Amino acid sequence: MENLVKHLRDHHALAKLVGDSPAFLKAIERLPLIAKTESPVIITGETGTGKELAARAVHYLSQRAPFPFVAVNCGSLTETLLEDELFGHERGAFTNADRHRRGLIAEAMRGTLFLDEIDSLPPKAQSDLLRVIQEKTFRAIGSSQQQEADVRIVAATNRLLEQQMAAGSFRSDLYYRLAVFAIQLPPLRDRVEDIIPLAKHFLSKHMPSDRIMVLTDQACCRLQSCKWPGNVRELENAIIRGIHYSEDRRIDAEDLGLAPDTDELSPPNTLSSAGSLQTAKKQVVEAFERDYLIRLMSEHHGNVSKAAGAAKKERRDLGKLLKRHQIDPESFRVSVRQETGSEHTHNREILPTSINAENAADSVPKVN
């Protein structure tokens, strides 16, 4: 099975799933087998572990590969907007509905619909989704006609749905419909062997085309010693910062913009090296502020206005803090390729037209 996974790395589907640690290989080893089915899949794992990449792998290894992969973040929409996003509406269905609008289910026809943060679905949306899975049909808002829902549902969450079911906030019948196949992605702290390969992958992905950059030994040691609460996404952000902060082709430990280890923040053991209380307190506060700002900007992808709102600070004051700690918001901004052909925001990818459903399926090695 390990040879199969390595072989599939050359395929479009698993090209971005980087890692050779036992925990990671165990999590993805059955992706090709799962992809061959038409059943729903649920992907679990902490924030930043690569759940959408795994969902795309399932899509591109399946016979639905030539058709759309459509992603929607359930946690970013209100109940009303989510229903409109998924099902669309007819002209005149509600105030300001001046024209027909296709929903994401229609956009994903014959392809895959990826529902991220499925745990955020409100009760009515859970009921509607259950009906789509059971009956393979849906109805646009304001329409009396049922439409076919020829889509595969792949869902993801970073929460324990079993706990939400016990609390009554997530339907058990929907969970068991979704969890025909389950993929659990490990956190980065459980796959330490993959940290440097991932870092080099992100370095190759983001570094300028006109120069070759390398990680110093000190940078590699710093990367391996980090706890990575933000997982692979946090690692990618660190490499992006390193590329922008480095003044030459070498990325050193301080260029990564990572918060100091807890041990580095601990006060010295001897009074002679401790200095004054005021000095020691200032050092700890400075370290805390820098760590907080790095994580804040990482979470909001360099958007100072949104970060200021989350921190409950004036934008100008936050800007002064960033400048004082020499933190550049631009280094946290990762460009995401999106199609904007429709009026709602979602990610949509289609394989080149030269690849059809038949040869997409044939490209997956058979497993005995």
User: What average pLDDT does range 223-240 have in this prediction?
Assistant: 94
Cα 273 vs. chain centroid, distance in angstroms? Answer: 44
In a domain, 201, yes or no: yes
pLDDT value at 327 more than 70:
yes
Residues 255 and 159 in one domain: no
User: Rounded to whole angstroms, how far apart are CA atoms 289 and 283?
Assistant: 10
The phi-psi region of residue 88 (left if phi > 0; otherwise alpha if psi is between -120 and 50; otherwise beta) is left
- Write out the residue range of the structural domain in which residue 291 sits: 192-279+286-332
- Written as one letter, the residue type at 302 is G
In a domain, 367, yes or no: no
In a domain, 354, yes or no: no
Residue 181's H or E segment, with its range, is strand 181-184
Boundary-marking domain end, from 126, 156, 186 = 186
In a domain, 53, yes or no: yes
Provide, rounded to the nearest whole percent, the portion of the chain with pLDDT above 90. Answer: 49
Residues 179 and 238 in one domain: no
Residues 138 and 176 in one domain: yes
Residues 60 and 156 in one domain: yes
Number of separate domains in the chain:
2
Tell me 46's DSSP state: S
Long-range contacts for 84-87 (Cβ within 8 Å, ≥24 apart)?
Answer: 84/141, 85/344, 85/346, 86/125, 86/128, 86/129, 86/138, 87/128, 87/138, 87/139, 87/140, 87/141
Residues 73 and 203 in one domain: no
Phi, psi of 15 (to 5 degrees): -60, -30
Q: What is the pLDDT of residue 210?
A: 86
pLDDT digits (tens, 9 = 90+) for 30-80: 999 999 999 999 999 999 999 999 999 999 999 999 999 999 999 888 887
User: Rounded to whole angstroms, how far apart are CA atoms 69 and 60?
Assistant: 9
Residues 77 and 205 in one domain: no
Distances (CA, A) of 110 to 41, 57, 134, 341: 16, 16, 17, 18
Residues 180 and 197 in one domain: no
Residue 229's domain is classified under what CATH number? 1.10.8.60
Residue from 338, 362, 329, 368 nearest 36 by CA: 362
Torsion sign, CA atoms 142, 146, 147, 151: positive
User: Rounded to whole angstroms, how far apart are CA atoms 280 and 274?
Assistant: 7
Distances (CA, A) of 348 to 47, 111, 344: 21, 10, 11
User: Rounded to whole angstroms, how far apart are CA atoms 204 and 208?
Assistant: 9
Residue 25's domain is classified under what CATH number? 3.40.50.300
Residue from 160, 65, 67, 181 nearest 118 by CA: 160
Q: What is the pLDDT of residue 1?
A: 52
Q: DSSP for 216-282?
A: -HHHHHHHHH---TTHHHHHHHHHHHHHHH-SSSEE-GGGG-PPPPHHHHSPPSSHHHH--HHHHHH
Boundary-marking domain end, from 186, 210, 225 = 186
Residue 153's H or E segment, with its range, is strand 152-157
Across 142-146, 269-273, 288-292, 316-320, the highest mean pLDDT is recorded for 316-320
In a domain, 237, yes or no: yes
In a domain, 11, yes or no: yes
pLDDT digits (tens, 9 = 90+) for 73-120: 998 888 878 888 888 877 766 667 667 778 899 999 999 999 999 999
Q: What is the pLDDT of residue 93?
A: 63
Number of H helices, E strands in the chain: 18, 12
User: What average pLDDT does range 311-321 have in this prediction?
Assistant: 87
Residues 181 and 88 in one domain: yes
Residues 98 and 229 in one domain: no
Boundary-marking domain end, from 186, 206, 233 = 186
Is 105:132 a contact under the CB 8 Å cutoff? yes
Residues 200 and 299 in one domain: yes
In a domain, 107, yes or no: yes
Q: What is the pLDDT of residue 254?
A: 93
Residues 146 and 204 in one domain: no
Residues 68 and 181 in one domain: yes
In a domain, 363, yes or no: no
pLDDT band at 183 (very low <50, low <70, confident <90, very high): very high
